[in-house]
Amino acid sequence: MIRRGIAAILLLLLLGVVSTTVVVYARLHQPFKGYAGPEQFVDIPPRTGTRAIARRLAAAGVVRDEFTFLIALRLTGRGAQLKAGEYRFDRPAGVYDVIDQIADGRVYLRAITFPEGLTIREMSRIYEANGLGQATAFVEAAGNVSLVKDLDGNAPDLEGYLFPETYSLPRSATAGDLVRAMVDRFRKVLTTQMNQTGVPAEGIRRLVTLASIVEKETSRPEERPTIAAVYANRLKLRMALQCDPTVIYALQKEGKFAGNLTKAHLSFDSPYNTYRYAGLPPGPIASPGEASLRAALAPADVPYLYFVSRNDGSHVFATTLQEHNRNVFNHQVLPFRQKRLEEQKRQPQRSQRPQRVRPS
């Protein structure tokens, strides 16, 4: 009888072990989603232990329970590889998938892209539109001139020094974090280009100002060295730069630009107006990209002093004013006249109304 009792107990224990093993196996391999919303974020601070990580994941509904996670972690041997950061979960996931995501450091990042040629205020609107924070916070962060003090001790803000690129940020990143990353990227790009072409003799601020003008004048990489040469040649001859983008920037700073540059705007009184004031404007008018920085560092070896748009994104260049005036007529005046004539031809002709005859 005693032997039978012991056998029965052993059998029950064995069944219990088998049952527990089956349950644990199922929990280790079945995907799980215990949170109500479409997504769940879990933040793992630096130096968080494995048990604390297990508690956070279980409390967030990412894994079934702490025990299952710790068992899986021991089986994988990746306990020492778990990395700090914020992680996003948006679908049912097996515990091994959760471990792999955290051990691989696949933290949640939000991407934001700044095209070349934007001002601080234009960038701030993109920052707010991407849901990263208020535009005013970005503008305020872009006033931290201590970030470029060694490059430009006279900078009133970071205009021109926020490198245009795509940045990936954690949700906790502030406007200050983003601005610091943009300045760091600017430094790396500038250093690379200066190592290839040499240190500019006239200073970083003048270099970035010229590069920003080049950036605003053309979107074609192959034209940038030539555009830079035109302005460099004008500066050497003490000619007025007469650069439309500098006037637009001056008007924007005062909130007086509605999108259309007129002849009257060319007399607007601002040190940024290169029609009224000789030389470069006081500072950058936008954030130049790498190609424009390179062009400003090494302008093309050409004698051009003028250029005009072909209305297709490209420009035609000239050395003399006479040649330039001819180009303006051929590529601006004449096409405008032809377009106006074509529009008039497409308009339906008004039928003449019969004249009324007053009764005598």
Residues 333-341 have a mean pLDDT of 82
| Tens digit of each residue's pLDDT (9 = 90 or more) over 68-122 | 999 999 999 999 999 999 999 999 999 999 999 999 999 999 999 999 999 999 9
Mean pLDDT of the chain: 89
| Tens digit of each residue's pLDDT (9 = 90 or more) over 306-319 | 999 998 889 999 99
pLDDT band for position 227 (cuts 50, 70, 90): very high
pLDDT band for position 327 (cuts 50, 70, 90): very high
| Tens digit of each residue's pLDDT (9 = 90 or more) over 231-253 | 999 999 999 999 999 999 999 99
Taking the C-alpha atoms of residue 181 and residue 14, their distance in angstroms, rounded to an integer, is 60
| Tens digit of each residue's pLDDT (9 = 90 or more) over 130-142 | 999 999 999 999 9
Query: What pLDDT, on the 0 to 100 scale, is given for residue 166?
Result: 98
Residues 188-216 have a mean pLDDT of 88
Taking the C-alpha atoms of residue 205 and residue 192, their distance in angstroms, rounded to an integer, is 17
Percent of the chain with pLDDT over 90: 77
Query: What pLDDT, on the 0 to 100 scale, is given for residue 157?
Result: 97
Taking the C-alpha atoms of residue 146 and residue 153, their distance in angstroms, rounded to an integer, is 9
pLDDT band for position 15 (cuts 50, 70, 90): very low
Angle value at C-alpha 260, between 258 and 261, nearest 5 degrees: 115
Measured between its terminal Cα atoms, the distance across the chain in Å is 141
| Superfamily, domain 29-103 | Endolytic murein transglycosylase (3.30.1490.480)
* DSSP secondary structure, 109-164, as one string: -EEEE--TT--HHHHHHHHHHTTSS-HHHHHHHTT-GGGGTTT-TT-SS-TT-S--
Provide the Cα torsion 233, 234, 238, 241; round to 10°.
-150
Residues 59-65 have a mean pLDDT of 95
Q: Which tokens belong to 5?
A: 């009792």
Indicate the pTM of the whole model: 0.81
Query: What pLDDT, on the 0 to 100 scale, is given for residue 194?
Result: 85
